């Protein structure tokens, strides 16, 4: 498909630089047969007993590092772990790096450039491994806020709290599953009181989620693989809910992509451990989910393509036009939507 079909104009003032406080006070646009305005706090009333909310419990690590190679400043953003001491990363400026170069991050912490790829990608072999490497990242790394935020202001300590869901447990993501940022313990209690259940999955979101689609046709776009996990118990719970007439409500596109990767042609979800690079565009037949909670995404992004596949391109264009006019806040720290599938 022509990538330009997924373009729209977003005024810069609609981009959120901080999340709503409290989190569940964020606006929520319900996109069903029509459009209706709510807040996230209304979600328990918009769902029904027997529904199952599917969350991503990945935890964001401070994956942005600033260092130097022979005096030249280098910034790297880790996006995929390869081993206990090796990561794939995006480097800026990558053209200054050669294989076997050492990037110094201070206090004896450094990385060797072991491979170079197109698009500014490199493989880094670190001086520390396993838990020691994670400790170093916690010490000197920054939370890798998306560029549409980090280019406008400095990342600070508040972001270490704000850019993490209350479910965050399994370290490995370099981007937050942002639909989950809206949920609080109080909201979770409201779901339980209404008989709405929850289940956890894990997809370690990579920095590739920030990458723009640079090709003219969706057929030519390459997704970066991300690692995910669905336990046998979680798969059984999701299948049982559907068998009993409940709906699977994916909290975020990361959970959706993982479930669709784990589902067979009949819509049965299987345990999953591995990588997925699934790329969903209009024409895709959804098998695993019934409703989607998701934030508002960038023009011409793979995520806007995904929601257009789920609810219909014209429906989503109308929904986004409404959201802009009604001053919804966009992107990672912004408001969200509850999407029904196209009929």
- DSSP letter string over 204-239? ---GGGG----SSBGGG--PPPEEEEE-HHHHHHHH
**pLDDT beyond 90 at 111:** yes
Q: Give the domain extent around 179.
A: 3-60+162-339
* Digit-coded pLDDT (tens) for 329-343: 999 999 999 999 998
pLDDT on residue 210: 63
Which tens digit of pLDDT belongs to each residue from 191-203? 999 999 999 999 9
Q: Judge if 36 and 72 occupy the same domain.
A: no
pTM for the structure as a whole: 0.92
Same domain for 68 and 30? no
Q: Do both 214 and 314 map to the same domain?
A: yes
pLDDT tens per residue, range 286-325: 999 999 999 999 999 999 999 999 999 999 999 999 999 9
Question: Are 107 and 53 in the same domain?
Answer: no
Q: Say whether both 182 and 279 belong to one domain.
A: yes
Q: Is 17 exposed, middle or buried (0-12, 13-18, 19+ CB in 10 A)?
A: middle
Helix (H, G, I), strand (E, B) or coil at 28: strand
* Domain containing residue 108: CATH number: 2.40.10.240
35 and 174 both lie in a single domain: yes
Q: Are residues 172 and 258 in the same domain?
A: yes
**C-beta separation of 54 from 183 below 8 A:** no
Query: Best-predicted range by mean pLDDT among 83-97, 138-152, 263-277?
Result: 263-277
Q: Return the residue matching tokens 């991300």.
A: 226
275 and 134 together in one domain: no
Instruction: State residue 224's pLDDT score.
Output: 83
Structure confidence by residue, pLDDT tens digits, 233-277: 999 999 999 999 999 999 999 999 999 999 999 999 999 999 999
94/54 same-domain check: no
Task: Identify whether 134 is part of a domain.
Answer: yes
From the list 253, 279, 264, 299, the residue with the least C-alpha distance to 54 is: 253
Q: Which residues pair with 109 in a beta bridge?
A: 106
Same domain, 247 and 292: yes
How high is the pLDDT of residue 83? 92
pLDDT band at 96 (very low <50, low <70, confident <90, very high): confident
Tell me whether residue 152 is in a domain.
no
One domain, residues 200 and 321: yes
Give the distance from CA 61 to its chain's centroid: 13
């Amino acid at each position: 498909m022509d990538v330009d079909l997924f373009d729209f104009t977003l005024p810069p003032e609609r981009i959120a630089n901080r999340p709503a406080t409290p989190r569940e006070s964020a606006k929520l646009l319900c996109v069903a047969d029509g459009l209706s305005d709510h807040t996230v706090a209304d979600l328990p009333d918009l769902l029904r007993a027997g529904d199952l909310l599917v969350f991503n419990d990945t935890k964001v690590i401070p994956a942005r590092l600033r260092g130097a190679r022979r005096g030249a400043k280098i910034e790297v953003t880790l996006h995929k772990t390869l081993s206990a001491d090796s990561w794939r990363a995006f480097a800026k400026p990558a053209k200054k790096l050669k294989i076997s170069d050492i990037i110094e991050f201070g206090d004896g912490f450094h990385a060797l450039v072991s491979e170079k790829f197109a698009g500014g990608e490199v493989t880094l072999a670190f001086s520390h491994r396993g838990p020691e490497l994670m400790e170093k990242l916690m010490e000197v790394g920054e939370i890798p806020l998306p560029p549409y935020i980090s280019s406008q202001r400095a990342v600070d300590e508040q972001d270490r709290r704000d850019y993490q869901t209350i479910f965050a447990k399994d370290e490995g993501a370099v981007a937050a599953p942002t639909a989950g940022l809206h949920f609080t313990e109080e909201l979770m209690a409201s779901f339980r009181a209404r008989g709405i259940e929850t289940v956890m999955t894990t997809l370690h979101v990579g920095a590739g989620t920030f990458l723009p689609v640079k090709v003219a046709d969706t057929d030519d776009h390459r997704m970066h693989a991300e690692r995910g996990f669905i336990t046998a118990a979680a798969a059984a719970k999701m299948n049982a809910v559907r068998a009993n007439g409940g709906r699977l409500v994916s909290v975020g596109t990361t959970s959706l992509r993982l479930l669709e990767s784990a589902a067979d042609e009949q819509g049965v979800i299987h345990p999953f451990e591995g990588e997925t690079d699934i790329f969903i565009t209009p024409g895709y037949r959804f098998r695993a989910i019934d409703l989607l909670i998701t934030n508002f995404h960038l023009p011409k992004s793979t995520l806007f393509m995904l929601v257009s596949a789920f609810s219909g391109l014209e429906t989503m264009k109308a929904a986004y036009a409404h959201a802009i006019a009604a001053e919804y806040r966009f992107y990672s720290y912004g408001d969200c939507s509850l999407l029904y599938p196209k009929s």
